[in-house]
Amino acid sequence: RMAEEGADMLDVGGESTRPGAAEVPVEEELRRVLPVIEQLVARTTLPIAIDTSKPEVMRAAVAAGAGMINDVYALRRDGAMEAAAELGMPVCLMHMQGEPRSMQAEPHYDDVVGEVHRFLTDRLFACELAGIDRRKVLVDVGFGFGKTLQHNLALLCALERFASLGSGVYAGLSRKSMIGTLTGRSEPAERAAGSAAAALIAVQRGARMVRVHDVAATVDALAVWQAVHALDTVPRREEKPSAPRWPDDD
């Protein structure tokens, strides 16, 4: 259904990374994701991303047909950097303070934008040292991963700063608790409008890829924005202003 609604990529994950989520064993994660990837490969030509931090899952998923690695730990787990370099697939590096089980327990930053920027800069450098081409890397500030509402808003406002790192910016805001807090929508499924608005803001501020649940609504919103943006960026011909005319000039 997402492919029919206009998705450009499908993201598959077998381990929840929501606040408080418990870790899933490698064998169980493989059991969950491999059949899904194999079925998607048989049914669609869209590229598939594997959302995992485990090198064993990265290798098996790519062998099954996945073409991108999305890692909330930014390749910091043992063997993950080596696996990503060996596989040669595009990779997304995300910032997270702590780990899923405890990341929302009073997150604190002295300068959230500066600290997240430094973290992602360091991870990009580590990727280059491992032989991963920076042009194959996306960076994700990690909305909702060890951040308060104000942290998330500050990062969204400063997203252009991350676009200047030389890698594409990936933004995952869809149905997040920050959208629920701002709109008063307690149920994630009711946050489509707020999520589409957040996606538009992210794209305006430099995001090259947005991860969404409500594909059709987001695609439509982006189509309208892109049409207006295309006209707004066309240089206007400067015209010499005409002299004012007064009633007694005739």
- pLDDT on residue 149: 97
Of these residues, 211, 237, 240, 245, which one is catalytic? 211
Asked if the structure places residue 43 within a domain, the reply is yes
**Cα(33)–Cα(13) distance, integer angstroms:** 6
Distance CA 3, CA 39 (A): 14
Classify residue 124: in a domain, yes or no.
Answer: yes
CA distance 11 to 7: 10
Residue 234 has pLDDT above 70, yes or no: no
Given the residues 176, 191, 236, 240, select the one marked as catalytic: 176
Domain-embedded: residue 248? no
Q: What is the CA radius of gyration of the chain?
A: 21
pLDDT per position as a tens digit, 112-169: 999 999 999 999 999 999 999 999 999 999 999 999 999 999 999 999 999 989 889 9
Q: Domain for residue 79, yes or no? A: yes
Check if the beta carbon of residue 114 is closer than 8 Å to that of residue 95: no
* pLDDT, position 83: 98
Q: Between helices 112-129 and 149-157, what is the axis angle to 10°?
A: 70
Whether residue 76 lies inside any domain: the answer is: yes
Name, in order, each residue with C-beta under 8 angstroms of 39's C-beta and a sequence gap of 6 or more.
Answer: none
User: Which two structure tokens, joined as six digits, stand for 133?
Assistant: 């081409």
- The total domain count for the chain is 1
Residues 56 and 30: their CA atoms lie apart, in Å, by: 9
Q: pLDDT tens digits for 93-111?
A: 999 998 877 778 888 999 9
Place of tokens 């252009």: 160
How confident is the model at residue 88, as a pLDDT? 97
Tell me the percentage of the chain whose pLDDT exceeds 70.
93
pLDDT of 215 above 60: yes
Q: Is 176 a known active-site residue?
A: yes
CATH of the domain at 156: 3.20.20.20
Per-residue pLDDT band for 235 (boundaries 50, 70, 90) equals low
Give per-residue pLDDT as tens, 18-58. 877 788 999 999 999 999 999 999 999 999 999 999 999 99
Structure-model confidence comparison of residues 244 and 197, the more confident one: 197
Whole-model pTM? 0.88
Q: Beta-carbon neighbour count of residue 237 at 10 Å?
A: 5
Report if residue 126 sits inside a domain.
Answer: yes
Give catalytic status of residue 211 as yes or no. yes
> What domain range is 103 assigned to?
2-172+206-211
Query: Is the pLDDT reported for residue 63 higher than 70?
Result: yes
pLDDT for the residue numbered 190: 97
Does position 220 have pLDDT exceeding 70, yes or no? yes
Q: Are strands 48-51 and 10-13 parallel, antiparallel or unpaired?
A: parallel
User: What distance in Å separates the CA atoms of residue 240 and residue 221, rounded to the nearest whole number?
Assistant: 36
Single out the residue of 223, 143, 139 nearest to residue 175, CA to CA.
143
Whole-angstrom Cα distance, residue 75 to residue 79? Answer: 8
- The alpha carbon torsion through 190, 193, 196, 201 (nearest 10 deg) reads -120
What are the distances in angstroms from CA 87 to CA 57, 66, 124, 129?
12, 11, 17, 15
Mean of per-residue pLDDT scores for the chain: 92
At 240 the pLDDT is 56
Question: In this structure, is residue 63 part of a structural domain?
Answer: yes
Q: Is residue 216 part of a domain?
A: no
